[in-house]
A and B are shown apart, each in its own frame.
Chain A
């Protein structure tokens, strides 16, 4: 089983987020980045599958935010290869560009399974897995919380949690792409000493990211929610409150 896990860097919410001058993105210069929590779960699931079936895990990331840190942590966690896709994309990439870049990089990487987080908090779009599967001509299933591999039949049997306490089990041919909602166990702890050791002993591979056209949907505005006007609490006995309500409705033009 050769598995590729896609990692994305998202804003670390420990710091207050600021909108950039153009008003349609967060200000990346003022932002710390951290690997998307869903992608951490995808990585954990990848490691669990490797432990069960053998093979390799490759972590693949776009060089945005603090990608190198995330890739070294992945190496310390036990992935076999860590590839950083570098290039000129100071604003990051939209999901179409990211999926194209990943597809390009995967041309000469062996894989039976590609795992990624079901979505990420920065756009809550959840498209990269599906787009990538489209570009590579692979099947795709997402929002998955359990993966079982039948190596002989070359299929993945995955479970999705549905509303109302129902669970759905699907079978997908391999190779394929899976969007992970949650790993079977929380992402394991990687001791700091191991990460620092890996920084000295292991190297990241870098590839030029193929930068293609983006999606046709444009972000018009990113903003902090604007507080609505304050609620007014009426006090007094029933008669007084009723009178105040009638008066208010009249003032607002609801009574004729």
Chain B
């Protein structure tokens, strides 16, 4: 642990911390955020709540505390799930403050090794998994349904499927991508993919690497510029958030849809294809960056209800009050770091809630959720009792043969 080396160090970091927005002074420290903050929920520590984190921001900005790894760790334990923003009576934009604080850490303190590896992989290979960019579309090999790959130099489709990093490379999440293209094939959607796609970079941005985010956005915009398409279809809510809300400032003008929005628009045609009943009780976990951030709450539920035999039940914390899985803002890549602070993963706590409402299937709509909840099933000993499935997998399983 770094110790305070005195006023000069505090003054130096205070000067750097002027990049933090004055938004923080809107916080009146009322503490309403404590009740909904997932890290506070698990740890019960003031320092691991939104109120505590904002207090640290003020102290650093005013030169009363130096910016050091210890202060940084309180910011790094936040997943930017935005639950606090929903309840904040002063409407503090925590979602703007936290990335600023994390950027300050990346620039002046450094990053934990596991996050450094992810940043370096993303910058070098265009994905956080450290896989070859040449193999980005390898998941389509051997599929019965055709997945048209647009050439580097051009091509026109109605819908450009932005597959995203985990669906492209992670063996478990590749199943989700395969389910989606099967459904698109059934619906006769004119779509294509491109291997020029790079990580959209949202979680890296929230984890403080704004420069990396810009670099990725420029690469993606260059690739998009060579193609003609009317709409971007996205699987990962984090990449969706970046493309929908951040990429317009890099020139993206096409409509951006999460698959739940896209498929809900074709609900009638889709329903005709859904014949195999899934006779079980299902609950749905709202991903932070699909739900709270982008207010997509109903479309995923419409899709689940369209599957014959699905008994959809709600967990107590749903929609705007959904409980984060712990994967956001780099949490996905800070598991070793988190294990030093957390006695329990957020994903584990969330599973208990799903079990309590009698769900046999926990439906998700985010790659982070799929992986984190499947791990939590194992660590909680819930194998055989609770199954984690992406909505797309449930839909594909119900398609008529």
- The judgment on whether A and B are partners is yes
Q: Which residues of B contact A15 (CB under 8 A)?
A: 132, 134
A194 to B119, CA, bound (A): 14
A12 to B131, CA, bound (A): 11
Q: Smallest CB-CB separation from B213: which chain A residue? A: A192
Given A14-B125, A186-B113, decide whether A191 and B212 contact each other with a Cβ distance below 8 A. Answer: yes
**Contact segment of B37-45, B89-97, B103-111, B383-391:** B103-111
Looking at the complex, which one of B110, B116, B124, B214 makes contact with A193 (CB distance below 8 Å)? B214
Cβ–Cβ contact B125 & A192, under 8 A: no
Q: Which residues of B contact A192 (CB under 8 A)?
A: 119, 123, 209, 211-212, 214-215
A90 to B134, CA, bound (A): 24
Q: Which residues of B contact A34 (CB under 8 A)?
A: 124
Minimal beta-carbon separation of A248 from chain B (angstroms): 39
Over the window 8-23 of chain B, the binary record of Cβ atoms lying under 8 Å from chain A Cβ atoms (1 yes, 0 no) is: 0000000000000000
Minimal beta-carbon separation of B67 from chain A (angstroms): 15
Q: Which residues of B contact A12 (CB under 8 A)?
A: 124
Looking at the complex, which one of A189, A193, A194 makes contact with B111 (CB distance below 8 Å)? A189
Looking at the complex, which one of B113, B119, B120, B211 makes contact with A196 (CB distance below 8 Å)? B211
Q: Which residues of A contact B211 (CB under 8 A)?
A: 191-194, 196
A12 to B120, CA, bound (A): 13
Cβ–Cβ contact A189 & B106, under 8 A: yes
Interface size on B, residues (CB 8 A): 21
Over the window 119-149 of chain B, the binary record of Cβ atoms lying under 8 Å from chain A Cβ atoms (1 yes, 0 no) is: 1100111000011101000000000000000
Q: Smallest CB-CB separation from B211: which chain A residue? A: A193
Over the window 185-226 of chain B, the binary record of Cβ atoms lying under 8 Å from chain A Cβ atoms (1 yes, 0 no) is: 000000000000000000000000111101100000000000
A131 to B125, CA, bound (A): 35
Cβ–Cβ contact B130 & A14, under 8 A: yes
Q: Assess whether A154 is interfacial by the CB under 8 Å rule.
A: no
Q: Which residues of A contact B107 (CB under 8 A)?
A: 191, 194
Q: Smallest CB-CB separation from A14: which chain B residue? A: B132
Cβ–Cβ contact A14 & B123, under 8 A: no
Q: Which residues of A contact B120 (CB under 8 A)?
A: 189
Q: Which residues of A contact B110 (CB under 8 A)?
A: 188-189
A12 to B134, CA, bound (A): 13
A222 to B116, CA, bound (A): 33
A196 to B131, CA, bound (A): 23
Q: Which residues of B contact A189 (CB under 8 A)?
A: 106, 110-111, 116, 119-120
Q: Smallest CB-CB separation from B133: which chain A residue? A: A14
Minimal beta-carbon separation of B46 from chain A (angstroms): 29
Over the window 129-157 of chain A, the binary record of Cβ atoms lying under 8 Å from chain B Cβ atoms (1 yes, 0 no) is: 00000000000000000000000000000
A139 to B110, CA, bound (A): 35
Q: Which residues of A contact B125 (CB under 8 A)?
A: 14
A189 to B210, CA, bound (A): 14
Q: Smallest CB-CB separation from B123: which chain A residue? A: A192
Q: Which residues of A contact B134 (CB under 8 A)?
A: 15
Q: Which residues of A contact B214 (CB under 8 A)?
A: 192-193
A172 to B209, CA, bound (A): 41
Q: Which residues of A contact B131 (CB under 8 A)?
A: 14
User: Counting chain B CB atoms within 10 Å of each CB, which of A12, A14, A191, A196 scores highest?
Assistant: A191
Q: Which residues of A contact B215 (CB under 8 A)?
A: 192, 196
A189 to B117, CA, bound (A): 9
A191 to B107, CA, bound (A): 7
A182 to B215, CA, bound (A): 30
8 Å CB contacts to B: which residues of A224-255? none
A57 to B106, CA, bound (A): 23
Minimal beta-carbon separation of A15 from chain B (angstroms): 5
Q: Which residues of A contact B113 (CB under 8 A)?
A: 186
Q: Which residues of B contact A186 (CB under 8 A)?
A: 113, 116
| 19 sample A-B contacts, Cβ–Cβ < 8 Å, listed by A number | A12-B124, A14-B125, A14-B130, A14-B131, A14-B132, A15-B132, A15-B134, A189-B119, A189-B120, A191-B107, A191-B209, A192-B119, A192-B123, A192-B209, A193-B210, A193-B211, A193-B212, A194-B107, A196-B215
> Which 9 pairs of residues, A with B, have the shortest CB-CB distance?
A193-B211, A192-B211, A192-B212, A189-B116, A14-B132, A189-B111, A192-B215, A192-B123, A191-B211
